[in-house]
A and B are shown apart, each in its own frame.
Chain A
């Protein structure tokens, strides 16, 4: 056995013993230190006969690598064991609460407005707005509701002056007037917003929300109106089938006018939309009255179309099972937290309304 081989065997067996870090480092220094056994062998290379030198150098390198690797492995093992031992002592009670965080919510009316906008966006409606304070003309007269019209009695109006010229809008319909005066047809808009009537009980609050719809173009008829609302209701309630009923009604600014009911039933105390034989009124609509079109300088012999007005709060109540309209505006922290939506739940066309 050559010296080299002997050296290797000897140290391999030494390294196979259970060693601590200090002992391993001693071995490392014995072998590879300045005067280490391996180091001194390398210094010998020059003195070896040329014929054997190459083989010697090669053998020596192999032995060096083998020993070095083993030493590094051993060191690693020991270090890992030490770390693991230390980590064992660092256990925390992971069931303790996380650091505090707070969570905000979006009001159900805002969420509902976004849902409505998303649905109508897909069929080409854009969103318009109007001011909360309106003049008497835009709110009533331009909408074919002159001063002596009994329909005005149905709107308990808040006034801002004794002459009753300035008021809080009683519906979102004046946005129709503003939009049509501002631009030229065609019009295809929705206008969500706050509306006001001086009425207050379980089902009425002095402020509530409506969304107005208006589609004026050539040849728009009641079939388009029905189709549009049918689509909207289906999308909004996220159901495959709905039962919808158009019923004749009267609004001064539409002719013919209709009210729309949807079928529902109560199952286990929860309202199910689209089934059952109960009817629930959810909106008013109709073909825009030619007098209204004339008032906004749109030629009713060339253009016609429909308008609708939906109570947003009521839709939200139906969809999310909220019983009391007044609770929407009561700002009860618990209620807001319960019925509110995560701000990341943005209703969109591609994602849909719900998760």
Chain B
């Protein structure tokens, strides 16, 4: 909502300054978004006429215009606007002018070899509107103003307020003034109520159809005959220009002015273009009309339309139609002032994707009792400016306005606000906001003003009182430092732990979108359902991610393109399995590229590999408290991993839920997305599949129990078939005697010379120690033999001699 202090002063008497005004507006909840001097040095912009246009000799789209700016000689101005043509009256900015929109100073400049003395302006360049398509086209009435300043005098600053959707009353200057006055900023000026005095009957028949979901409750109107639609008087033009609107013609300007001044949208029809009568009704599917924005709209069933015998004239409360629009030659006017239901307005505007000033106001709720005020104010102004005779007001109604009454308990105020004000003060504030009050024992009975659709219960009254008293009066009650419940639950603690555990292994944490490019997502989706976003922000972010890899790969590639080679990044966050709430999993996903020890003077560089990533995964899980002795790992992994160099990890053998996948990313994907790296490995840990620890850290510290008897280490080398996993050998050895075998370690794997094809040699070191005694040679020999026998039996291995 755009206002100026000058306009506010039509409604409020105050000695305070603009600075106070800005503070006060914000303090009562009418937030000041910006303050600007719209037209600094505005007298420099002149009305001008294009006398002649020629094509620019060096540019197809540019024209060289000879412009009459009221001086002896015509000015040569280069202009790119398509609508620049001979005879057009527009606005000229000479060199030295500061263009309001860009705040840049205009200079004489050669444009493609032709010197341009100034510029012809568009509405947007002058901050008059967002219209930047072409230069301003002024009506022929401005002919006599050529050479004169377009803006009459310097005006007060334009203040842009952000009005919250609950306050339609503050979409009019009067409403803002009322709030200010209630807060003590000044005195609300009582307006003289000028009423239409007329004997003429409004003889155009108006009917609101009584039908289901009728969007119009009340339709008030009056006829004004024999008007002469002229250019608005200077005071009116200045008002509209001061808040950035462009004057059009007296009738249009007056309806706009009344809307902005008292938030009462009106519509003026050319009464001669209405076929017999007005019918307010629901539209039928397929009906069409051309609106004042020059667009053709096809309607659906049930939209509230104003029609005549021929068909739709306009959408009630949203936009009028060209067929019945007023023009400079309009003689007879039907002025409409109606109440349209917010929900009907909103539904229609949404379906047609239409946004207008009237719609914005009606959907928030217009004062239903302002119908006659609006007609009176506008009709009398029209008569003053355009002449003519006004008819009596005609009101058609299908629903009566019911006043709202609230029984307010004054005690509630302190209960909610934390501070006290007297009942007298409360009543004073509420009455100055337009409430009517009556004491009823300990309660106050309040009649809510008709312009406040937002107020329906006691707590709304509390808000009004706190707001006007000042939020600075709310006490600061310091919080008590007391905790009754633990801050994080176990899964949140696990999240937190894993996040920092992975980061501590050299990974940079990334946060990427929860959505991704479906093309990338498909690489990592597996058999999961694709979850499309109906209205994505771009085609590259059109699905919810099935895996974090898609985004990490995309960003990894970008970083590689920046010239980095050895990168480790990870993200912990959601992946999605369906479009219902809760169809999501929390995953830690990491990606590592390039080499270890690249260009190191001391260590041999090598490609990062699957065993690097396996270490990161297992170490992380061990640190999180899971027993690596129970881990079960096999090689079944999703198809986005290298089929031979990847694994899946279960916390326990026989468990169904996969705790993690890890491995090299499938080379085909790397090729397809054109990634350049020596090596790329990744992992995924699934948080929901990790059992939460039942024990506390305290419980987990079991009795300290070690053996001080001599331990001995024995090395074995077995030859096995290549398809046998080292894990099988380790399991076999561990199973021999758990009380004696304290550690099993693979220290060499060898294939090649001296080993038969399809076989490999695995060398294992076994630590044997008893809790009861020092083992003698005999004991050790026995266990050695048992180890060899067990491994040979269970895996088909042969001990190497």
Contacts and interface: CB of A to CB of B under 8 A. Distances in A.
Interface of A: 96-97, 99-107, 109-110, 114, 117, 120-127, 129-135, 138, 148-151, 153-154, 158-162, 164, 166, 168, 188, 194, 196, 198-200, 206-207, 219, 221-228, 230-231, 245-250, 252, 255-259, 287, 289-290, 304, 328-334, 336-337, 340, 343-344, 346
B760 to A, nearest CB: 31
B201 interface: no
Contacts of A336: 508-510, 569
A161 B579 contact: yes
A337 B508 CA distance: 7
A146 B501 CA distance: 44
A179 to B, nearest CB: 12
Given A110-B511, A250-B29, 5 more contacts: A97-B600, A160-B534, A207-B514, A227-B475, A331-B512
Nearest to A260: B471
Nearest to B483: A124
Contact of A160 (B467, B481, B541, B579): B579
A110 B571 CA distance: 11
A158 B533 CA distance: 7
A247 B29 CA distance: 6
A127 B492 contact: yes
A223 B503 contact: no
A188 B582 CA distance: 23
Interface residues of B, number: 99
Contact of A96 (B28, B466, B576, B601): B601
A206 B602 CA distance: 46
22 contacts: A107-B509, A121-B483, A122-B481, A124-B481, A132-B574, A133-B580, A133-B581, A148-B347, A149-B165, A151-B165, A164-B534, A194-B573, A198-B537, A206-B513, A221-B417, A223-B476, A248-B28, A255-B459, A255-B463, A256-B459, A331-B569, A336-B510
Contacts of B535: 158-159, 198
A224 B601 CA distance: 62
Q: Is the interface of A mostly helix, strand, loop or mixed?
A: mixed
Contacts of B512: 329, 331
B487 A117 contact: yes
| 6 pairs of A and B residues whose beta carbons are closest in the complex | A223-B418, A248-B29, A102-B506, A250-B164, A331-B555, A256-B463
Contacts of A127: 487-489, 492
Contacts of A246: 471-472, 474
A21 to B, nearest CB: 36
Interface centre among A96, A99, A162, A226 (most CB of B within 10 A): A226
A256 B466 contact: yes
A109 B418 CA distance: 34
Q: Is the interface of B mostly helix, strand, loop or mixed?
A: loop
B166 interface: yes
Contacts of A125: 487
Contact of A107 (B511, B513, B533): B511
B479 A104 contact: no
Given A159-B534, A333-B567, A230 B584 contact: no
Interface centre among B416, B531, B562 (most CB of A within 10 A): B416
A250 B166 contact: yes
A231 B480 CA distance: 10
B514 A114 contact: no
Contacts of B579: 133, 160-161, 166
Contacts of B580: 133, 166
B504 interface: yes
A81 B518 CA distance: 73
A226 B481 CA distance: 16
B27 interface: yes
B152 interface: no
Nearest to B471: A246
A328 B513 CA distance: 10
B503 A105 contact: yes
Nearest to A120: B487
Contacts of A344: 500, 504
Contacts of B537: 158, 198-200, 206
Contacts of B745: none
Nearest to A148: B343
Contacts of A110: 499, 509, 511
A329 B511 contact: yes
Nearest to A227: B477
B559 interface: yes
A223 B415 CA distance: 10
B496 interface: yes
A86 B616 CA distance: 41
B509 A106 contact: yes
A222 B416 CA distance: 6
Contacts of A131: 581-584
A221 B463 contact: no
Given A106-B509, A129-B492, A226-B474, A96 B602 contact: yes
Contact of A100 (B418, B496, B584, B603): B603
Contacts of B534: 158-162, 164
B407 to A, nearest CB: 14
B31 interface: yes
Contact of A333 (B474, B480, B486, B508): B508
B14 interface: no
A104 B583 contact: no
